[in-house]
Chains A and B, each alone.
Chain A
């Protein structure tokens, strides 16, 4: 007989497939009424996917690396309940230096959370993905240096506020 955890895992697996199934049905629907639109959307998706693949490889590699080298004890030391200011700082830094689309990092965060990462720190990491160092020159070009610097500073502050609120709501 399957235990509760296995049943939950199975249910989650089906939920993941349901979502993809719904999107495919939506595409089929659009294909029937506007072939060109659906075809162009599919082409745009292909374009996004090609750009995404290198990041996905990086994420899988990092997950394997973390599984091998970082044991749950170390995770809870650096990102767990007793991690303190170091945990917040690490999450801000990791969010800023990580690259690629945000959704590519969900599986890695799930893995870290399983090993003891605080929810608030996961939120801080995700919020700081808003800061894109390689894109800073573009932002400065359009909005000016002072605006970019102030926005980045408030982004970091907001990330910490969000992390704290998430933790307060969790308790």
Chain B
């Protein structure tokens, strides 16, 4: 007989306390539950009253300084978005996104029609626009991108869609922030590209597994985006 693990009991108060720490309330759809689970992991800030042997204490506090924000499905935003916090988009965005030094995830239900600039960009939904990532771009199996990519590393899952140009940032020094700020470092050749396997997993495999099918229909032509 299966026994329910003790950790799963609802009596664990630290887990309940963590939820308000998230900067945005997520009324999640089923398809995005894995995404929200991931976000809540990142959003968890250590509670002062947490017991010393709590497993959460050993986790790296990635979001201790900047907890990820969440634009949930059903929200539509038109306009520029800038910030210094990681961002998860499950809604509909039209407008430039500049999140330098941050990680941006477009969830399975997310749709972005704009250029994106961030440290890391993960696409599980649909993006029509050019991407510039100082560190990496990952397109999950449900992800669809129409636009050019400029980054240091790229990871593309089977089933992902990419329509556009790919350019890799040459890494000449160990300071990636510099290469982001200076366009002259942008070049085709790169020694630090992504793993060769086309089935390489995303940094967020649980999200990729939970991803729903990408939406279809056309977008602006790659030529237009190259001009932009």
A and B: real partners?
no
